[in-house]
């Protein structure tokens, strides 16, 4: 029997892959039928494709079901009933909580959940936190006011669900939050990588507190940015806080679908609650082997107010070839979400993923945590500048750092950059998610 102290759900998390596949078909048919019967949007989408839920009889049949995406979701929400439109699959009065996406890729979309859906959301996070070693003895500090953003609300309720004591750290400023963490001897923390690094910097420079020595944080769960799966950024966070940092990936519309466990070997896809398919970006061919990147098509099984069925997430991921020592049978993805179909842009004719620049910058200890990438057009040519800060005391090493950067950036991204060194503390600091990549070419003449 599986060790119940390792897994939140010892049965699902160790179910053999063939049994998981059987479960996927069963659960997929259930949510598909629910959406077909209750959502005018889905009913119309499937009718147009000549498809009825009864047509899905094998695992491979799932691929016949039309995909949907954010723009379709937005269109459906622009119809009645306000504000969720024709995608809503429960009576409006059954919705008990509202959230929305951040709107970084356009107008925000709305997220209705019923009371049961919300319990499911907490459940997804309970898997994450339990796998990362959270137990009922932990005191978890969340240093944000969560407002309408869903991730930390889910983290909050997920932590409560497994018995942790949760301290909501909104309203306070960064210094007051650090002092609260110290006063309460908090043992765990959830935040974005940007904020984890920023907090450590504030603790050292403004309060004379070394988080690794003077605080009691034993583990950190990060969300909202790719940093938790970029090895050099993760190392910076772990050194600054003297503890393990674990990644998770989720999104408002489909939920928290993957998590790292304490073995830190990759992100497990929660195959008990989600179906993740990877598709070739150009051909749409299904990718089942490791080592080949594609975009993620995701289905959420047990969330009913606004079903998410074969949603084109535009996230780029790849299957990991590894099997994790933790014993979970849930497959892993390698390197987290490595980019988005939208933001892997071409610079000087080369495909550039901004995460590669972060990996290089964070690997050089003489450099501070902050940096900025600015792409402009000079005449017909793309011009790419990288603004950096040397940490105090390293000003004399500018030339050697410059040489390392030029070599490493060339190897990792295939591009040459204008390197600009700025005084420590002068580049913008971000509270939540950083906007370090600025493509100004559209404004150029
Ligand atoms: Zn594992």
Q: What secondary structure does DSSP assign to 229-258, as a single string? A: GSHHHHHHHHHHHTSEEEEEEEETTTEEEE
* Predicted confidence (pLDDT) at residue 20 exceeds the cutoff of 90: yes
Six token digits for residue 228: 């938790």
* Predicted confidence (pLDDT) at residue 29 exceeds the cutoff of 90: yes
* 27, 134, 365, 389 from 233: Cα distances, Å: 37, 22, 11, 16
**Number of Cα atoms under 13 Å in the Cβ half of residue 259:** 28
- Domains of the chain (ranges; CATH) run 1-341 (3.40.50.12780), 345-443 (3.30.300.30)
Q: Is 15 helix (H, G, I), strand (E, B) or coil?
A: coil
* Residue 349 and residue 406 in contact, taking contact as beta carbons nearer than 8 Å: no
Residue 24 Cα to ligand 1 midpoint, Å, equals: 21
At residue 423, the pLDDT reads 93
Residue 322 Cα to ligand 1 midpoint, Å, equals: 10
At residue 105, the pLDDT reads 64
At residue 23, the pLDDT reads 97
Q: How confident is the model at residue 2 (pLDDT cuts 50, 70, 90)?
A: very low
What is the distance in angstroms between the CA of the first residue and the CA of the last residue of the chain?
A: 67
Residue 334 Cα to ligand 1 midpoint, Å, equals: 12
d(CA 293, CA 3) in angstroms, rounded, equals 34
* Predicted confidence (pLDDT) at residue 145 exceeds the cutoff of 70: yes
* Predicted confidence (pLDDT) at residue 213 exceeds the cutoff of 50: yes
pLDDT digits (tens, 9 = 90+) for 90-139: 999 999 999 999 876 678 899 999 999 999 999 999 999 999 999 999 99
* Residue 275 and residue 248 in contact, taking contact as beta carbons nearer than 8 Å: no
Q: Say if strands 367-378 and 350-352 run parallel, antiparallel, or are unpaired.
A: unpaired
> What contacts 407, CB < 8 A, 6 or more positions away?
none
Beta bridge partners of 110: 100
Residue 165 Cα to ligand 1 midpoint, Å, equals: 25
Q: How confident is the model at residue 444 (pLDDT cuts 50, 70, 90)?
A: very low
At residue 434, the pLDDT reads 81
At residue 429, the pLDDT reads 86
| Share in percent of the chain as helix, strand, coil (round to 5) | 35, 25, 40
Mean pLDDT of 229-246: 96
* Residue 347 and residue 375 in contact, taking contact as beta carbons nearer than 8 Å: yes
Residue 324 Cα to ligand 1 midpoint, Å, equals: 5
Length of the chain: 445
pLDDT digits (tens, 9 = 90+) for 216-230: 999 999 988 888 999
Mean pLDDT of 362-387: 91
pLDDT digits (tens, 9 = 90+) for 418-438: 999 999 999 998 877 788 888
Higher-pLDDT residue of 340, 200? 200
Where in 330-404 does DSSP place strands (E)?
A: 332-333, 339-340, 345-347, 350-352, 367-378, 381-390
Residue 198 Cα to ligand 1 midpoint, Å, equals: 29
At residue 240, the pLDDT reads 97
Six token digits for residue 311: 């949603």
* Predicted confidence (pLDDT) at residue 16 exceeds the cutoff of 90: yes
At residue 1, the pLDDT reads 42
pLDDT digits (tens, 9 = 90+) for 285-316: 999 999 898 999 999 999 999 999 999 999 99
At residue 344, the pLDDT reads 60
Give 126's DSSP letter.
H
Residue 267 Cα to ligand 1 midpoint, Å, equals: 8
At residue 104, the pLDDT reads 67
Residue 284 Cα to ligand 1 midpoint, Å, equals: 29
pLDDT digits (tens, 9 = 90+) for 55-90: 999 999 999 999 999 989 999 999 999 999 999 999
Report the range out of 1-5, 50-54, 145-149 with the highest average pLDDT.
50-54
* Predicted confidence (pLDDT) at residue 402 exceeds the cutoff of 80: yes
Residue 272 Cα to ligand 1 midpoint, Å, equals: 14
Six token digits for residue 227: 């940093």
d(CA 322, CA 411) in angstroms, rounded, equals 26
pLDDT digits (tens, 9 = 90+) for 126-141: 999 999 999 999 999 9
* Predicted confidence (pLDDT) at residue 209 exceeds the cutoff of 60: yes
Q: How many CB atoms lie within 10 A of CB 78?
A: 12
> What is the residue-averaged pLDDT of the chain?
93
Higher-pLDDT residue of 102, 262? 262
**What percent of the chain is modeled with pLDDT above 90?**
79
Residue 126 Cα to ligand 1 midpoint, Å, equals: 15
């Amino acid at each position: 029997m599986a060790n119940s102290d390792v897994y939140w759900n010892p049965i699902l998390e160790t179910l053999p892959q063939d049994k998981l596949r059987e479960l996927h078909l069963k659960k997929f048919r259930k949510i598909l039928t629910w959406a077909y019967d209750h959502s005018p949007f889905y009913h119309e989408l499937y009718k147009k494709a000549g498809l009825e839920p009864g047509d899905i009889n094998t695992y491979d049949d799932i691929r016949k079901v039309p995909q949907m995406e954010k723009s379709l979701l937005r269109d459906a929400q622009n119809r009645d009933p306000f504000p969720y439109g024709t995608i809503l699959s429960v009576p409006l009065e059954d919705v008990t909580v509202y959230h929305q996406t951040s709107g970084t890729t356009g107008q925000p979309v709305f997220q209705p959940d019923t009371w049961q859906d919300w319990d499911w959301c907490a459940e997804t996070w309970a898997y994450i936190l339990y796998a990362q070693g959270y137990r009922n003895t932990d005191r978890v500090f969340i240093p944000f006011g969560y407002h309408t953003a869903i991730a930390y609300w889910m983290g909050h309720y997920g932590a409560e669900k497994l018995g942790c004591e949760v301290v909501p750290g909104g309203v306070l400023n960064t210094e007051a939050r650090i002092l609260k963490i110290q006063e309460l001897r908090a043992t765990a923390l959830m935040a974005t990588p940007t904020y984890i690094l920023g907090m450590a910097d504030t603790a050292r420079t403004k309060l004379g507190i070394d988080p690794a020595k003077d605080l009691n944080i034993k583990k950190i769960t990060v969300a909202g940015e790719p940093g938790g799966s970029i090895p050099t950024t993760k190392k910076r966070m772990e050194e600054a806080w003297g503890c393990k940092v674990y990644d998770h990936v989720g999104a408002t519309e489909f939920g928290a679908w993957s998590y790292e466990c304490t073995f830190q070997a990759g992100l497990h896809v929660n195959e008990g609650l989600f179906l993740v398919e990877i598709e070739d970006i150009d051909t749409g061919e299904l990718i089942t082997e490791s080592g080949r990147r594609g975009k993620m098509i995701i289905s959420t099984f047990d969330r009913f107010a606004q079903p998410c069925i074969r949603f084109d997430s535009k996230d780029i991921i790849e299957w990991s070839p590894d099997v994790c020592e933790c014993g979970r049978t849930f497959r892993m993805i390698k390197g987290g979400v490595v980019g988005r179909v939208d933001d892997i842009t071409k610079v000087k004719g080369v495909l550039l993923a901004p995460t590669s620049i972060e990996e290089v910058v964070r690997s050089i200890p003489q450099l501070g945590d902050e940096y900025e990438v600015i792409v402009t057009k000079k005449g017909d040519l793309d011009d790419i500048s990288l603004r950096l800060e040397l940490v105090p005391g390293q000003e004399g090493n500018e030339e050697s750092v410059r040489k390392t950067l030029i070599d490493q950036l060339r190897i990792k991204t295939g591009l040459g950059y204008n390197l600009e060194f700025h005084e420590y503390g002068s580049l913008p600091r971000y509270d939540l998610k950083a906007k370090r990549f600025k493509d100004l070419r559209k404004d150029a003449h």
